[in-house]
Amino acid sequence: MYSFKNDYSEGVHPNILATMVETNLIQQPGYGEDEYSLNAIKILKNRINREDIDIHLLVGGTQTNLIAISAFLRPYEAVISAQTGHIFVNETGAIEATGHKVIPVEVNDGKLKVVDIKSIVDSHSGVHMVRPKLVYISNPTEIGTIYKKSELEELSQYCKENDLIFYMDGARLGSALACKENDLSLIDYGRLLDSFYIGGTKHGALMGEALVLCNDSLKKDFEFNIKQKGGLLAKGRTLGIQFYELFKDDLYLKLAQHQNKMARILNDGIKDAGFDLFIDSPSNQVFPIFPNEIIEKLEENYSFYRWTSIDEKYSAIRLVTSWATLETEVIKFIETLKAYTI
């Protein structure tokens, strides 16, 4: 059974593991004050080209979204998200559990647009309704699409003009950066967003996300929120080592390029076999539409998510490639698929 279910089925990149072993008995301060974390943050600031930002290394994506969004908002303020957004669908109501409503917007391509945000802002007014304050996006989106620079610039400008916090979930940010269609860099994210995070868990790290605070108004006393919500890791070195290894020599981008390449092989092979895609994703997620009987056969040897039903006979599935996906297994999947269609 080979998994295309997610991009974190494997453990950790060997470079990270080797450095953890080599530095294992070197004593370091705790809670992110170790030399590895400080060096990792220094490198990330350099890549974003801003010394005035704050960076906090946290364990996981849901934890990062929860800590950040709950810290940024006042009790009566709410979040605007696409209806496919991770905080709305897949985080067990974590944001709502802190008292902040997530307001979903129906979109076709997973991406929010100014007109979507404006419709929510305009329809919420007065003390009888929550106040929309934070705009949540992810890049890539939950259906694998990516934002272009012009789209992010439009959203950023609207948020600035309307006193909204612009926040981006970057759990799969490496995949977006590695897309051939991409025209955004870490420097652009640091310029256009109030806050975002750089995902490590889905890019070769054992765990870890780097939360970036760009807007000065979000920085004060933020560490208190991290500690109160259980995010201040005593052995912070485990996070620092991982981000240091991922970014010191561009390993992060190389791993993302590999997972995108594997997804592209899958994508092209599926099309060549005569099947359509639910959405044409340029990132490491592929959404083919197959007859249900073929899906059942594929499930005998592969694990993946059934994404949505198309009709009584067809469904879309999701295939996800990782930093460690084997090309031999990708080719074998395509060959298996073609054999079922004969």
In sequence order, what are the residues at sequence separation of 6 or more whose Cβ sits closer than 8 angstroms to the Cβ of residue 171? Answer: 61, 86, 138, 197, 199, 201, 202, 209
- Here the CATH number for the domain that contains residue 287 is 3.90.1150.10
Residues 291 and 233 in one domain: no
Residues 227 and 294 in one domain: no
Q: What tens digit of pLDDT does each residue of 232-248 get?
A: 999 999 999 999 999 99
Residues 130 and 276 in one domain: no
Q: Two tokens at 127?
A: 């003390």
What is the tally of structural domains in the chain? 2
Residues 281 and 306 in one domain: yes
Q: What residues does 76 pair with on adjacent strands?
A: none
CB distance 263 to 306 below 8 Å: no
HSE (side-chain half, CA atoms, 13 Å) at 271: 12
pLDDT band at 330 (very low <50, low <70, confident <90, very high): very high
Range of the domain at 278: 2-6+252-341
Q: What tens digit of pLDDT does each residue of 123-147 get?
A: 998 999 999 999 999 999 999 999 9
Mean pLDDT value across residues 201-229: 97
- The alpha carbon dihedral of 35, 36, 39, 41 has a sign of negative
Domain boundary among the residues 249, 264, 296 is at 249
In sequence order, what are the residues at sequence separation of 6 or more whose Cβ sits closer than 8 angstroms to the Cβ of residue 213? Answer: 53, 54, 55, 56, 194, 195, 219, 222
Closest by alpha carbon to 171, among 90, 272, 286?
Answer: 90
Tokens 């592209």, residue?
Answer: 264
Q: What tens digit of pLDDT does each residue of 256-277 get?
A: 999 999 999 999 999 999 999 9
Residues 61 and 205 in one domain: yes
Written as one string, the DSSP assignment of 202-254 is TTT-SS-EEEEE-SGGGTTTHHHHHHHTT---TTTHHHHHHHHHHHHTSHHHH
What number of other Cβ atoms are within 10 A of residue 327's Cβ? 12
Mean pLDDT value across residues 87-114: 96
Domain boundary among the residues 223, 249, 275 is at 249
pLDDT band at 51 (very low <50, low <70, confident <90, very high): very high
Q: Rounded to whole angstroms, how far apart are CA atoms 332 and 338? A: 10
Residues 153 and 263 in one domain: no
DSSP annotation of 273: T
Answer whether residue 59 shows pLDDT above 90: yes
Q: What is the dihedral of CA 53, 58, 63, 66, to 10 degrees?
A: -20
Q: Rounded to whole angstroms, how far apart are CA atoms 239 and 201? A: 10
Beta strand 314-320 pairing with 305-309: antiparallel
Answer whether residue 305 shows pLDDT above 90: yes
HSE (side-chain half, CA atoms, 13 Å) at 315: 15
Residues 170 and 291 in one domain: no
Residues 98 and 20 in one domain: yes
pLDDT of residue 328: 98
Rounded (5°) CA angle 221-226-232: 125
pLDDT of residue 342: 64
pLDDT of residue 341: 83
Residues 147 and 205 in one domain: yes
Residues 293 and 162 in one domain: no
Residues 190 and 260 in one domain: no
Residues 230 and 271 in one domain: no
